Structure 1
Amino acid sequence: MKKTIFTLALLAGLSGAAQAQRNISLGLKAGGTYSSYVGEDADNLKGLFGFHAGGFVNIGLTKLFAFQPEIIYSQKGTKYDINEDVRQRLHYLDIPLAFHVNADGLFFEAGPQVGVLLAASGKAGSFSNDIKNNFNDFDFGYLVGLGYQRKAGPGIGLRYNGGFVNNTPSAETSIGTLELRRRNSAFQLYLTYSFGGR
């Protein structure tokens, strides 16, 4: 009798593990980014086009909810309205932690995001220089979006990334602390492809 109960429990555990495995899929994503800065000191700025690409793991928690952590290389930045040849390009390794609400492939998402600044350059005409030291090494923000994505196959999505913190550090001057109140802001339109799952 004990062996029968043990065998049934083992089979139930294996069945649950297999079910959980079918609810996990890996995927790739890539698309375009339209970014700028927002905040009280973000006047006379315009959007800048770039791209982003990376991978994700979609973990089905229930039929309705899923958790999707990602690792994304993302170009952000801005250009100046008074002279479009003057621009700043920021390169981030973003780690979004997206929570999905699913409805037969259609999803709505929201969650936090951490970004690590990999590089930054300023460009004026043909002149370019490294400006990474002018920016914070880390960014913290949020994401909201929607799209269509199955556990296997192609998908599409539109996402907004907003920053909670300024992207430049404060600096001490002879007249006090100088702080530019500017945060990253980016719209991302992307395609996905998922492998595995149900």
Structure 2
Amino acid sequence: MKKILLLVAVLFVGTSLFAQDVQFGAKGGLNFANWIGDDADGTDMRTDIHLGAFARFAINENIAFQPELVYSRQGMKVDINGSDVKFKSNYLNIPLLMRTKMADKFHAIFGPQVGIHLNSEADDGDVSVDADNMKGVDLALALGLEYDVADNVAIGLRYNWGLSKVIDADDAKVRNSVIQLGVSVAF
């Protein structure tokens, strides 16, 4: 984890030396999370939140590098023996995004994301969750669109497609799948 945070710090500092313009901001919104994969049959989407901050380093007037630090509540719902169980996983996600202008107020965003698993729990007393079975790092690809509703305010829709298994077991093939609808404000 120290290596990941060091990498993010180096990227922030290194990019700021070459950037023409730097903006910082806050973001937040809704997550529509689920698990996907061979062993994710029967899981349903659960809704929760994400909150975070970002830095936007302009490379030119149409392209910017946008690293983020986002607290994200993810997971899924599943019916176990007639009981609706919500499985909640909390992550500290670090997307390293490129933001490109597509039209007057539209921007495409894309890039890799590293998620650090903070904790997990289930809301049903009959179901035990062993957080030791959750992988500590989750890799994903983030793809999305943003629309500028004002000079420093944007609404965005993003899909975080999990690339790595979230459970540390050979027979459990599930990955995170998160749709994010949010608002960002740049300062």
TM range (shorter): 0.7 to 0.9
- Counterpart for residue 13 of structure 2: none
Q: For residue 97 of structure 1, give the secondary structure of its aligned residue in structure 2.
A: strand
Distance between the aligned counterparts of 2:150 and 2:49, measured in 1?
24
Bigger drift between 109-118 and 128-137 goes to 128-137
Q: Does 1:38 align with 2:36?
A: yes
Written as runs of structure 1 = structure 2, the 5 A alignment for 1:113-192 is: 113-124=113-124, 131-149=130-148, 152-170=151-169, 178-192=170-184
- Counterpart for residue 6 of structure 1: none
Distance 1:150 1:98, change over 3 A: farther
**Pairwise CA distance, 1:152:** 4.8
The amino acid that maps onto 1:131 is: D
- Counterpart for residue 11 of structure 1: none
Distance between the aligned counterparts of 1:153 and 1:46, measured in 2?
35
Between Structure 1 and Structure 2, how many residues are aligned?
168
The amino acid that maps onto 2:43 is: L
Written as runs of structure 1 = structure 2, the 5 A alignment for 1:10-89 is: 20=20, 23-81=21-79, 83=82, 85-89=84-88
Distance between the aligned counterparts of 1:39 and 1:142, measured in 2?
15
Say which one has the larger Rg. 1
Distance between the aligned counterparts of 1:152 and 1:128, measured in 2?
48
Distance between the aligned counterparts of 1:150 and 1:188, measured in 2?
17
Tell whether the 8 Å contact from 1:108 to 1:145 is kept in structure 2 after alignment: yes
Alignment deviations for residues 129-150 of structure 1 (CA, whole Å, 9 cap, x no partner): 5532121011011000001248
Tell whether the 8 Å contact from 1:151 to 1:194 is kept in structure 2 after alignment: no
Tell whether the 8 Å contact from 1:150 to 1:194 is kept in structure 2 after alignment: no
**Pairwise CA distance, 1:104:** 3.1
Structure 1 unaligned regions, length at least 5? 1-16, 171-177
Structure 2 unaligned regions, length at least 5? 1-16
**Pairwise CA distance, 1:46:** 0.3
What RMSD in Å do the two structures reach over aligned CA positions? 2.1
Distance between the aligned counterparts of 1:166 and 1:91, measured in 2?
15
Q: For residue 63 of structure 1, give the secondary structure of its aligned residue in structure 2.
A: coil
Alignment deviations for residues 75-116 of structure 1 (CA, whole Å, 9 cap, x no partner): 000011464621210000000011111133310011000000
Distance between the aligned counterparts of 2:68 and 2:134, measured in 1?
23
